[in-house]
Structure 1
Amino acid sequence: MELLHNITEAMEKGDQAEVGRLLDNVLLEVEPDLLYELAEGLMNYGFAEEAARVYEHLIFLFPEENQLRIDKAQVLMEIGREDEALLILSEVPKTDEDYPIALLALADYYQMIGLHEAAEQRIDEAMSLLPDEPLLIFAKAELLLNSGRYLEAARLYEELKKGNAELTGVNLSERLAEVYSAGAAYEEAIPYYEEAISSNHSPELLFGLGIAAFQVGRYKTAISTLEELLSMDPDYFSAYLLLSQAHAMLEQNEKAYTVITDGIQRDSFEKEYYLVAGKLTLKLGDTQSAEDHLRQAIALDPEYMEALYTLMSLLHQYERDEEVIELFEQLKHEGSDWPALLPFVAESYSRNEQFERAYEIYTLAYTEHKEDPSFLEKYVYFLLEEGKREEAIEILKQLQNLAPDMRWIELMDSLE
């Protein structure tokens, strides 16, 4: 029919004025069953107001069809006319066969605005009327998943999977893999990932399987899965990091380093790649490359705490105290305040014979590190060297409580 063809063309072009102009004639001349399809098409192309007009016309023609009212209410929710939508849904009689669908539409609305308990009540009421309806069970499972109630959701998806491989376009094996992974039940997720992959060999599923296998210590499985993923999609950047970590867990550090440098070649702006590369080269004994990688990470993000900590730890280990101090003062000048770095800095100032500044930094560090025995030990000896005997005794008492040792008792006795 020419009218339908014309309005479809206008929809595809996004010509709202033309769609509006044609719609009046379409409503008068096109058969109702085709109008219903047109309403769905209008929604798909983003013409929600026009779809609402079509449903209004159909309701006028078939006032007894509550499904049309429910459809209109769902459209009204899409365009922010919730009050009208809720009124329409509330008018569907409880005795009507479409009442459970109205409850489901209400549940969708309450879930959308974050009222999960109200949504669950509506779904439960619908399920009390149609206890074996798969769509209602699926809606309840989806609600539980979105509410973080993963084990309850999994039980319902398992029930559905006994009779359905797929529901509303959702593969239930994929959904179960997702649910179990979200609940950190990675061992349970793995067979569902494998089952889903057998019918849908997608990068996303392969990555999900790689994560699950990694989390349960099946590093060889993770490696083979992620290598397959990267052969399919070399630009799946998250896989490089996980694959490198899987090799590292097997102490295959050179392979791990090769993988992460491949990742860097693909994405030279991913700071985490440089951090991992830096840590791996430290393991491999190449401190210069480690420092280079860490500085590259920091260049990408000057407040990248983990890279800053690792670099400062490296500089501190090799007693490059002036560089430790310089890095710290630069961070402080830029307004950054990292308590985790203070023990390194305090010791570097002390070794550099800037004792007043060292004392100041030790005092600051104490606030954050007073539960750390290794820090307290260094602090005690610094205080003793500076002649601050009373302060040293107080720290010694705390050290003895945290990590009892005859050394601290003997040192305390000698001081008292």
Structure 2
Amino acid sequence: MQLHDFEKAVLDGDIGLLNDLIDRVEKTGDFDLLYEAAGLLVDYGYVGQADHIYEILIAYMPDEPQLKIDRANTLMELGDEDDALLLLSEVTQDQEEYTQALLALADYYQMIGMAEAAVGKVKEALSRSPHEPVIRFAYAELLLDAGRYLEAAKLYTELYNEGHNEIASIMIPLRLAETYSAGAAYEEALPYYEKLLKDEQLPDTLFGAAFAYYQSSQPEKSVQLLEQLIEMDPDYFSAYMLAGQAQSQLGDDEQAYGLFEQGIKRDEFDKELRLSAGKSALKLGIPLEAEEHLQHAIALDPEYIDAIVTLASLYNQQEEDEKLLSLLTEMNEEQMDIPLLSAFKAYALEREEQYAHAYVSYSKAYVGMKDDPSFLDKYARFLLDEGKRDEAIEVVRTLVILEQPEEWTAFLETLNDEEV
């Protein structure tokens, strides 16, 4: 009996045969084969069967620390953390495998969100084996997860410069690219993405590189990579959004709109694509298409503020007050706390000659829009028309501080002359 017998049973999905093989090998006493089989089963995701093998082996070799660590790892995957921690606690500091036990504990603490405890265990392991690449890599991973990007990048770079291209099945250049991107150092990420793409053009790598180019104000290269990605995987939905944004950065709103629409055909439930398509349609001067996309976005998420504000702005510009008021009537109280929406409501109510209600909305909007000259101008005129002269003067003074428009400056000067 050999290891490939286990692999064939796994590939065939024959659990009965797999369990039978485990029992037969146990009876022969070939524990080396059993141990190799456990590792194989872990690789294929048969964690329960692997755990059973480790349990058998520990029964025969109860003092073997490596088996305790291996079984602790499978128990954690199976959700039995208490027994896993008990096994790890049996590995003592004087044993060579203690460093592995520390790393297993670090994985556990990271999994349950105890980042500081995880870092502490890895630091202890690092103090025991300061030059061990796997431990330094584990420390870099924790730093990356904690958002300490510069420290993580330094460790990854040291490992890479020492000739470590891959550790724990993870490409170091990929980690460097991801770490620099996560820290918004996109130009530093690009050389590593470029190296990865020379070796193999994978969808996620293409997207990561395209995003880094986009963030580095190189939209042409971003578009080139995204075109390759979409051709490779038409269902990579994020590519359509980024490609549209890159085309928009290039000033080609027509191409951007086309890409957003392509993405919507692939995923009609993506509210962000709908919003982007709506905004592009507005730039292209096709308001009906813009309205349709924005309405879809809001239907997908009734609390999607960006889409609500954009659609309200469109209705306000076109003075479609019935639609505007209908849209805003559906908003909850928290959403209507947004000053711009209150302003749009005030404009519509004023045009509809509902002046008392307009005054309420203007007053509400004023609290958060004292730095918006256009709003202040409209509000001041409304207040004067309503005979609220003192309130209008306050608004005009706020406006003049911001912009000093000739008309309103003259208005205040006239007031001063009257007072004299």
Asked whether the two chains share a fold, i.e. TM above 0.5, the reply is yes
Give the Å deviation of 1:132.
1.4
Match of 1:148 in 2: 147
Match of 2:170 in 1: 170
SS of 2:230's partner is helix
Q: Answer whether contact 2:305 2:335 (CA < 8 A) is retained.
A: no
Match of 1:219 in 2: 219
What do residues 54-107 of structure 1 show as CA deviations (whole Å, max 9, x unaligned)?
324323433443211211222232333333332332332322221211111111
Q: Answer whether contact 1:66 1:92 (CA < 8 A) is retained.
A: yes
> CA 1:296/1:144 → structure 2, altered by over 3 Å: closer, same or farther?
same
Match of 1:272 in 2: 272
Q: How many equivalent pairs are there?
A: 414
The two structures, once aligned, show a CA RMSD in angstroms of 3.0
What do residues 156-175 of structure 1 show as CA deviations (whole Å, max 9, x unaligned)?
11111121111121111111
Match of 2:374 in 1: 374
Q: Distance in 1 between matches of 2:126 and 2:86?
A: 22
Deviates more, 1:86-95 or 1:202-211: 86-95
Alignment of 1:150-299 (within 5 A): 150-162=149-161, 163-299=163-299
Note if 1:127 corresponds to 2:126.
Answer: yes
Give the Å deviation of 1:273.
2.7
> CA 1:389/1:299 → structure 2, altered by over 3 Å: closer, same or farther?
same
SS of 1:368's partner is coil
Match of 1:39 in 2: 38
> CA 1:27/1:246 → structure 2, altered by over 3 Å: closer, same or farther?
same
Match of 1:118 in 2: 117
Unaligned runs of 5+ in 2: none
SS of 2:84's partner is helix
Deviates more, 1:348-357 or 1:150-159: 348-357
> CA 1:7/1:310 → structure 2, altered by over 3 Å: closer, same or farther?
closer
Deviates more, 1:276-285 or 1:171-180: 276-285
Q: Distance in 1 between matches of 2:129 and 2:179?
A: 25
> CA 1:126/1:334 → structure 2, altered by over 3 Å: closer, same or farther?
closer
> CA 1:400/1:289 → structure 2, altered by over 3 Å: closer, same or farther?
same
> CA 1:72/1:11 → structure 2, altered by over 3 Å: closer, same or farther?
farther
TM-score by length of 2: 0.87
Q: Answer whether contact 2:88 2:101 (CA < 8 A) is retained.
A: yes
SS of 1:96's partner is coil
Identity %: 48
Note if 1:78 corresponds to 2:88.
Answer: no
Match of 2:88 in 1: 89
Q: Distance in 2 between matches of 1:258 and 1:236?
A: 16
Q: Answer whether contact 1:291 1:311 (CA < 8 A) is retained.
A: yes
What do residues 305-353 of structure 1 show as CA deviations (whole Å, max 9, x unaligned)?
2223222222222333333223323x24899636232212211211221
SS of 1:201's partner is coil
Q: Distance in 1 between matches of 2:12 and 2:410?
A: 86
Give the Å deviation of 1:143.
0.9
Unaligned runs of 5+ in 1: none
Give the Å deviation of 1:404.
5.4
Give the Å deviation of 1:38.
2.8
> CA 1:112/1:271 → structure 2, altered by over 3 Å: closer, same or farther?
closer
What do residues 182-228 of structure 1 show as CA deviations (whole Å, max 9, x unaligned)?
11111011111110111121111111111110011001111111111
Match of 1:341 in 2: 341
